[in-house]
């Protein structure tokens, strides 16, 4: 598996014929003979060390059979580096949400491997996956997913309460103050604005100090001002706390807050960009001929102001 340099921009890949071959070879060699492909892939992942918070190796997800067969993911191999904010973009049906769900142990892959740290999620049972999701992964959903009968602080600490763990008070205070919720902790979700509810969701995701936070269209239900506040907080959690964040979005303005953008189409990674801006992301979408990036991106750019650094 070839690992991309997180500080180097890639060239645009117009079609799959120019895409880098990231599929593990059928075999490799060692003194006592050939290495099976699965073992070779696992060895390549292990050699990467702690630099990647999560990674996928030749990940495939297939729905249906026969004439109705659809490959939502078609051999995706990618690293998500620790302390980096990565955005995943693509048209509807590109596989971006499926990729996130498989990485976050919310869905099973058909084949391939998913690692969070050194844990191979594809080899774990339900109990182990539940523990990984609870202790090592944070989630931010488009629809907030707050419990309506609980206060803001009760929602923030809920995963730790379920796990029977005491919150780190100093860290919890830091998170609460960072998202600006100190005067809203005793309010229930119905008493909070959409932006405040999403900030509660962000605080909940970070309170347990997860290895990685997955955010699925976190600004999709917010106005531009509230959306910018949430994106600024996610970016700040990376820069100030060293958090790892992976965000699915259709919005080039949101992607402009990331350190790196991956572009998916037809279940494959077709391009990558580092140091993105909203304008660069939009231009790159236009250059990816044959994929319907431009329509959604142009609409998003029209309704939200560009990021100001």
The per-residue pLDDT of the chain, averaged, comes to: 81
Position 289 scores a pLDDT of 54
pLDDT category, 286, cuts 50, 70, 90? Answer: confident
139-148 pLDDT, tens digit per residue, is: 998 888 999 9
pLDDT at residue number 163? 87
pLDDT digits (tens, 9 = 90+) for 194-230: 999 999 999 999 999 999 999 999 988 888 888 898 8
pLDDT digits 0-9 by tens, 100-136: 999 999 999 999 999 999 999 999 999 999 999 988 9
Rg (alpha carbons) of the chain, rounded to whole number: 20
Q: How far is CA 59 from CA 78, 266, 270, 277, in A?
A: 9, 13, 15, 29
For 49-60, write each residue's pLDDT tens digit.
447 999 999 999
- Please name the helix (run of DSSP H) or strand (run of DSSP E) that holds residue 100, with its range, or none: helix 96-103
The pLDDT assigned to 92 comes to 84
Instruction: Using the CB atoms, write b or e for 206-232: b if 16+ within 10 Å.
Output: bbbebbbbbbbbbbbbbeeebbbbbbe
- Look up the pTM and report it: 0.75
In this structure, how many other beta carbons lie within 10 angstroms of the beta carbon of residue 29?
Answer: 10
Structural domains of the chain sorted by starting position, each given as residue range(s) with its CATH number in brackets: 16-136+210-303 (3.40.50.300)
What pLDDT is attached to residue 154? Answer: 96
What pLDDT, in 10s, does the model give residues 159-194? 999 888 898 999 999 999 888 899 999 999 999 999
Give 300's pLDDT tier (boundaries 50, 70, 90): very low
């Amino acid at each position: 598996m070839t690992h991309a340099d997180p500080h180097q921009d890639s060239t645009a890949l117009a079609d799959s014929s120019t895409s880098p071959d990231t599929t593990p070879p059928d075999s490799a060699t060692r003194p006592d003979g050939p290495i099976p492909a699965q073992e070779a892939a696992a060895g390549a992942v292990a050699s990467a060390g702690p630099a990647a918070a999560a990674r996928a190796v030749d990940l495939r997800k297939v729905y249906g059979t026969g004439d109705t067969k659809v490959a939502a993911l078609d051999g995706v191999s990618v690293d998500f580096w620790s302390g980096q904010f990565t955005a995943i973009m693509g048209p509807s049906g590109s596989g971006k949400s499926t990729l996130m769900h498989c990485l976050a142990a919310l869905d099973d892959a058909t084949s391939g491997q998913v690692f969070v740290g050194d844990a191979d999620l594809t080899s774990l049972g339900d109990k182990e996956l539940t523990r990984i999701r609870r202790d090592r992964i944070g989630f931010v959903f488009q629809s907030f997913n707050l419990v309506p009968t609980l206060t803001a602080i009760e929602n923030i600490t809920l995963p730790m309460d379920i796990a029977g763990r005491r919150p780190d008070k100093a860290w919890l205070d830091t998170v609460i103050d960072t998202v600006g919720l100190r005067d809203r902790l005793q309010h229930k979700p119905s008493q909070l604005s959409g932006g405040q509810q999403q900030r509660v969701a962000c605080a909940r995701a970070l309170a347990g100090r997860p290895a990685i936070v997955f955010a699925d269209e976190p600004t999709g239900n917010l106005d531009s001002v509230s959306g910018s506040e949430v994106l600024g907080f996610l970016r700040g959690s990376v820069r100030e706390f060293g958090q790892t964040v992976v965000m699915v979005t259709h919005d080039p303005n949101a992607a402009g807050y990331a350190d790196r953008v991956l572009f998916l189409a037809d279940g494959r990674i077709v391009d990558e960009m580092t140091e993105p801006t909203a304008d660069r992301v939009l231009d790159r979408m236009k250059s990816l001929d044959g994929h319907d990036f431009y329509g959604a991106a142009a609409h998003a750019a029209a309704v939200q102001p560009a990021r100001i650094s």
